C-alpha cells in the first residue's frame, strides 16, 4: 500500500487504485439494483418513475463517494463551506412536512435543504473551545467525535423546524445510511 508523509512526519496509508475501484464497483451494483426498480416503477406511472430516478444517488457510504470523487477528479465541499452556502438559501425543501418521504428531483432553482443529507469532506470534530458537559450528556457527545464524517442540509425525513444551516449530522464513513448523498465542489 502506498504511503505519504502527514503533518506529524509519520506516514499515512493511501488507498491503492484497486481498493478505490472495488468501492466504485460496489456503487455500480447499487445503481443497477435501482435500475431494475426503475424498470418496474416506470410501468406503474410517472410519479414512481420520478421517485426511483431521484433515488439513484442516495443511501451511499462515504467510501463509495470518496472513490467516485477520486476517479472524477472532484472533491466534496467542506462542512464549513456548505454551512455558509446553506445560510444564504431559503429554509425550504423536500422535508418530512411535505409528506413525500423520499428524495425528489431538484426544481429549477436547485435544492439546498431536504431530500438528502449531504456528505461533506470534513471529519466530525469539536468546534474550537468545545468542552463536554459534566455527566452523561458530556460522555454522550464526546464519544461520537471520532472516526465520523459530517453531513449537512437535512433530508426528506427531517422536519423543517429541525433544519438550520449550522446543524451537523454525523455518520461512520463505511456505513450506508438512508437519505445520504453528495454535492460536488471544485476550486475556483
Q: Which residues contact 145 (CB under 8 A, 6 or more apart)?
A: 124, 125, 126
Structural domains present in the chain: 3-185 (3.90.1580)
**Tens digit of each residue's pLDDT, the chain (188 residues):** 444 444 445 444 445 555 556 556 555 555 554 443 443 344 455 555 455 555 556 777 888 788 777 777 778 889 999 999 999 998 888 899 988 888 877 777 778 898 889 999 999 988 888 888 888 777 666 677 788 999 999 998 999 999 999 999 999 888 888 888 887 666 65
Residue listed under C-alpha cell 436547485 = 110
Instruction: Say how far apart CA 152 and CA 168 lie, in whole Å.
Output: 5
pTM for this model (two decimals): 0.69
> What is the pairing mode between strands 169-171 and 149-152?
antiparallel
Amino acid at each position: 500500500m502506498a504511503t505519504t508523509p502527514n503533518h506529524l512526519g509519520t506516514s499515512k496509508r493511501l488507498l491503492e487504485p484497486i481498493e478505490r475501484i472495488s468501492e466504485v464497483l460496489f456503487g455500480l451494483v447499487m445503481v443497477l439494483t435501482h435500475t431494475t426498480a426503475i424498470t418496474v416503477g416506470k410501468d406503474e406511472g410517472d410519479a414512481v418513475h420520478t421517485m426511483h430516478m431521484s433515488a439513484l444517488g442516495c443511501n451511499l457510504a462515504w467510501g463509495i463517494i470518496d472513490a467516485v470523487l477520486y476517479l472524477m477528479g472532484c472533491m466534496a465541499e467542506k462542512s464549513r463551506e456548505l454551512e455558509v452556502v446553506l445560510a444564504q438559501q431559503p429554509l425550504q425543501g423536500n422535508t418530512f412536512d411535505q409528506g413525500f418521504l423520499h428524495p425528489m428531483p431538484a426544481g429549477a432553482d436547485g435544492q439546498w435543504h431536504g431530500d438528502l443529507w449531504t456528505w461533506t469532506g470534513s471529519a466530525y470534530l469539536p468546534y474550537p473551545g468545545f468542552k463536554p458537559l459534566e455527566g452523561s450528556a458530556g460522555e454522550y457527545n464526546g464519544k461520537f467525535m471520532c472516526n465520523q464524517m459530517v453531513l449537512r442540509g437535512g433530508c426528506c425525513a427531517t422536519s423543517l423546524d429541525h433544519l438550520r444551516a449550522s446543524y451537523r449530522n454525523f455518520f461512520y464513513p463505511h456505513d450506508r445510511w438512508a437519505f445520504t448523498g453528495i454535492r460536488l465542489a471544485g476550486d475556483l
